[in-house]
Amino acid sequence: MNARSVRRDETPVEYEVRVKGHLDSRWAAWFEGLSLTNQHDGTTVIRTRNIDQAALHSLLQKLRDLALPLVAITQIGTTQPSQPASNTRNFIPKKEYTVKTTTQTPATERVRMDPLRKTAMVAGILYLVTFVSSIPALFLISPVLNDPHYITGSGADSTVIFGCFLDLVNAVSAVGTAVALFPVVKRQNEGIALGFVSARMFEAAVIVIGVVSLLAVVTLRQNGGADTALVPVGRALVAVRDWTFLLGPSLVPGVSGLLLGYLMYRSGLVPRVIPLLGLIGGPLLLSSTISTMFGFNQGISVWSGLATLPIFVWELSLGVWMAVKGFRPSPITTAQVRTA
């Protein structure tokens, strides 16, 4: 398509550019006030005013930068009364235009994964790793948590140590999710994004404290033998771990759900029903955990279960969506796509 201006004696034209997917009103400013109309067939029509071929090329370049699939371009001429409406011309773009720039690149460059897609996949996998590691860990460390005399008994040290290792994997993965998402979500609100990273780091630090306390119990059991004087020490260390669980994996996910839920909801990077679960579940989990801290609720109760469920579904669905689908096109990712 040649980038030449419309001749002065030609009738000014408008264009309707149809792209796959629906774009909401947030895109209007990025497209400099062009008319955006969502169609029933799942496409969006971007209608331009009288522009030349160079301006049309610039618009198509923006669409390419956003990786929005181009469906068709319709050139609409201002028809005279004696002219039939068939003057409208439809252009079906070639597939290559939507995936190539005017500069030829090696074949290895064209097949390289989109950096944003890679970011979403890494963050999603790390979220799933937190589930794969934390849930089995609860069962593996249960002997030391449920047996007050574990420190003087025969013990199941290998099982407990492996459970502690999984908790460490959970802590590292929690920080990894925040580090992976920060470069993207900071474009929506850097202050809230920093708060999300800080919350995940605090959660990981508290988890590590709990792991160290349980490993201390194992060490004392191995070195102290059957010394009954160690029983109160073992109980104290287990109590430390119980409090770290309450302050870390129980309390902080409520804060993270509010912070990241807000960023994801406002940016539209994922379907908004997913972050809505975080925005609803965050206050529920915070209220349940705080009431447990002050003795108004039990750690294992109907209230605790109902309060935990939305956050559980929020983090699981977020991880699955990012790992499988990636991010949806969003104005906050424009600069990253263009500089990639």
Q: pLDDT (tens digit, 9 = 90+) per residue, 247-285?
A: 999 999 999 999 999 999 999 999 999 999 999 999 999
pLDDT above 70 (res 138): yes
Average predicted confidence (pLDDT) for the chain: 82
Alpha-carbon dihedral angle through residues 19, 40, 278, 126, given to the nearest 10 degrees: -40
The answer, yes or no, to whether residue 182 has pLDDT greater than 70, is: yes
Report whether 311 contacts 297 (CB < 8 A): no
Asked if residue 110 has pLDDT above 80, the reply is no
- Indicate the domain borders of the chain: 13-110, 115-339
- Give the range with max mean pLDDT: 220-224, 248-252, 329-333: 248-252
Q: What share of the chain is helix, strand, coil (3-state, %, to 5)?
A: 65, 10, 30
Q: What is the pTM of this model?
A: 0.71
For residue 6, is pLDDT > 60? Answer: no
The mean-pLDDT minimum among 21-35, 62-76, 115-129, 172-186 falls in 21-35
Q: Tokens 């264009």 label which residue?
A: 15
Query: Topology of 13-110 in CATH?
Result: Alpha-Beta Plaits (3.30.70)
CA 119, CA 180: separation in Å to the nearest integer? 6
Please count the other Cβ atoms lying within 10 Å of the Cβ belonging to residue 37: 13
Using DSSP, state whether 46 is helix, strand or coil: strand
* pLDDT score, position 336: 52
In this prediction, residue 153 carries a pLDDT of 82
CB-CB contact of 314 with 257 (8 Å): yes
Q: Give the confidence band of 243 by pLDDT, cuts at 50, 70, 90.
A: very high
In single-letter form, the type of residue at position 185 comes to V
**Mean pLDDT of the region 203-214:** 98
pLDDT at 25: 65
Q: Is the pLDDT of residue 79 over 60?
A: no
